[in-house]
Amino acid sequence: MNLKSIEIHGFKSFANKTKLKFNNRFSLIVGPNGSGKSNIADAIRWVLGETSLKNIRGENLSDVIFSGSDLSKAMNFAKVSIIFSNEDRKLPIELDEVEVTRKVYRDGESKYLINNKNVRLKDIRELFLDTGVGKEGYSIISQGKIDEILSSKPNERRKIIDEASGIAKFKYQKEESLKK
């Protein structure tokens, strides 16, 4: 399973629909200060279901929507789609590619899609559980995170080890079944 591409439209500084393709090995994103590099990382977190505005460097829900510039007017939605290759079936879907989309409008209407089908945020979370990808995964390491792990409390560090070792999924399923 690996990241194939991401398409960003109306998200933060990306007024024009922008598609980035990644190869199997590694990719680097370079650019001057303020050109939108971190906004790409934010877009990846956001499409994978990030609900903490702080983690995507925003204060209000609408902060993810392009707010206008000298050249273009503000947009009324932000949309991000991400495609993973799934030949190895790491994601429990019988398809070679899995596309996840999140879209939000200024009036607050919001939706998530998996392969163009409307789903709940919960479905996105469950899809990526224990894959290392996703909101609770540690595939995106932001500035200061390493420091935070080293200085975290034992129970917080335990959560990180649970996710890395693949038992977070079972803990999640237990919590879900206890709710019923």
Q: Which residues are annotated as a binding site for ATP?
A: 32-39
Which is nearer to ligand ATP, 44 or 82 (by Cβ)? 44
Which residue in the set 16, 27, 35, 72 belongs to the binding site for ligand ATP (CB under 6 A)? 35
Which is nearer to ligand ATP, 57 or 111 (by Cβ)? 57
Helices (H), ranges, the chain: 37-47, 121-128, 145-150, 154-165, 168-179
Positive or negative torsion for Cα 72, 76, 119, 159: positive
User: Alpha-carbon distance 89 to 13, whole Å?
Assistant: 34
Which is nearer to ligand ATP, 104 or 127 (by Cβ)? 104
User: Alpha-carbon distance 58 to 62, whole Å?
Assistant: 9
38 interacts with Mg ion by CB under 5 A: yes
- Quick one: what does residue 98 bind among ligand ATP, Mg ion, none, with the CB cut-off 5 to 8 Å set by partner type? none
User: What is the token pair recorded at 161?
Assistant: 């080890």
Minimum distance, C-beta of residue 32 to ligand ATP, in the bound complex (Å): 7
Minimum distance, C-beta of residue 55 to Mg ion, in the bound complex (Å): 14
Q: What are the two backbone dihedrals, phi and then psi, of residue 82, each rounded to the nearest 5 degrees? A: -130, 140
Minimum distance, C-beta of residue 72 to ligand ATP, in the bound complex (Å): 9
Minimum distance, C-beta of residue 138 to ligand ATP, in the bound complex (Å): 20
CB 34 within 8 A of CB 104: no
Pick out residues in 103-122 that bind ligand ATP (CB under 6 A). none
Torsion of CA 129, 134, 139, 140, to 10 degrees: -160
Which residue in the set 2, 5, 18, 38 belongs to the binding site for ligand ATP (CB under 6 A)? 38
Q: How far is CA 111 from CA 31, 47, 62, 95, 124, in A?
A: 31, 10, 14, 22, 11
Binding residues for ligand ATP, rule CB under 6 A, total 14
55 interacts with Mg ion by CB under 5 A: no
Residues that bind Mg ion (CB under 5 A): 37-38
